């Protein structure tokens, strides 16, 4: 009976991709409709979601055997866990006392035009005072907390495919 309920790895990877598309869609909604401007860490998290989604899409389209599924699962989990580390930093910044919050930096567009790329990436990943501001909550948790939960779920989904793969 459980074999009938078990999806193959291809379907799970494609469902993970759909989840990533949904997360990116929600980010676009909050930015374009609700008017919430993303901070540098938010943009970094979106890039990690995009990377994770692309790994899932390629894995789903490729539909490899056990070895390939294992490789895609590890790469997908690594992408999701890198996003989780960015989310963890974001949550940490939001819980700092006000006197310890880093200063706000110029906008991303200004940084890309006036700073070397490496410095811009470093500023994006470190976060700024903009990142410490909580503009939105759901059930008492800020957006970075929910993003952290999503990244951990995506990493778990990815790693579970190692054991879910049908042996050929």
Tokens of 65: 């055997």
The segment with the largest mean pLDDT, out of 49-58, 103-112, 158-167, is: 49-58
Higher pLDDT, 102 or 75: 75
Q: Is 106 a domain residue?
A: yes
Q: Domain span at residue 61?
A: 8-164
Q: How many domains does the chain have?
A: 1
> Residue 106 — pLDDT band, cuts 50, 70, 90?
low
Helix (H) or strand (E) holding 155: helix 143-164
Q: Does the residue 2 lie in any domain?
A: no
d(CA 149, CA 26): 15
Q: Is the pLDDT of residue 52 over 70?
A: yes
**Between 40-62 and 9-32, two packed helices, what is the crossing angle to 10 degrees?**
150
Which has more pLDDT, 5 or 70? 70
CATH number (domain holding residue 55): 1.20.1550.10
Collapse the DSSP code of 141 into the 3-class scheme (helix H, G, I; strand E, B; otherwise coil) and give the result.
strand
Is 1 part of a structural domain of the chain?
no
DSSP string, 78-126: HHHHHHHHHHHHHHHHHTS-GGGSPPP---HHHHHHHS-HHHHHHHHHH
115 assigned to some structural domain: yes
Which pLDDT does position 124 carry in this prediction? 67
Any idea which of 79-88, 142-151, 155-164 has the lowest mean pLDDT? 155-164
At 167 the pLDDT is: 57
Position 138 in a domain: yes
In a domain, 49, yes or no: yes
**Which of 7-16, 36-45, 59-68, 106-115 is predicted least confidently?**
106-115
Considering the domain boundaries, does residue 147 fall inside one? yes
Residue 10's CB is within 10 A of a number of other CB atoms, namely 18
Mean pLDDT lowest for which of 13-22, 31-40, 56-65, 99-108? 99-108
Average pLDDT of the segment spanning 155-159:
92
């Amino acid at each position: 009976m459980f074999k009938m309920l078990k999806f193959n790895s291809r379907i799970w990877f494609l469902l993970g991709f759909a989840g990533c598309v949904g997360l990116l869609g929600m980010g676009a909604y909050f930015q374009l409709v609700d008017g919430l401007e993303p901070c540098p860490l938010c943009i970094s998290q979106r890039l990690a979601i995009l990377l994770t989604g692309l790994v899932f899409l390629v894995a789903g389209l490729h539909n490899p055997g056990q070895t390939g599924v294992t490789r895609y699962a590890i790469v997908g989990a690594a992408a999701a866990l890198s996003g989780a580390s960015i989310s963890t930093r974001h949550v940490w910044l939001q819980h700092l006392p006000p006197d310890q919050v880093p200063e706000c930096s110029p906008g991303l567009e200004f940084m890309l035009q006036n700073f070397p790329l490496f410095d811009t990436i470093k500023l994006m990943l470190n976060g700024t005072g903009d990142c410490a501001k909580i503009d939105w909550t759901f059930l008492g948790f800020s957006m970075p907390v929910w993003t952290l939960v999503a990244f951990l779920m995506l990493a778990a989904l990815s790693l579970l495919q190692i054991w879910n793969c049908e042996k050929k």
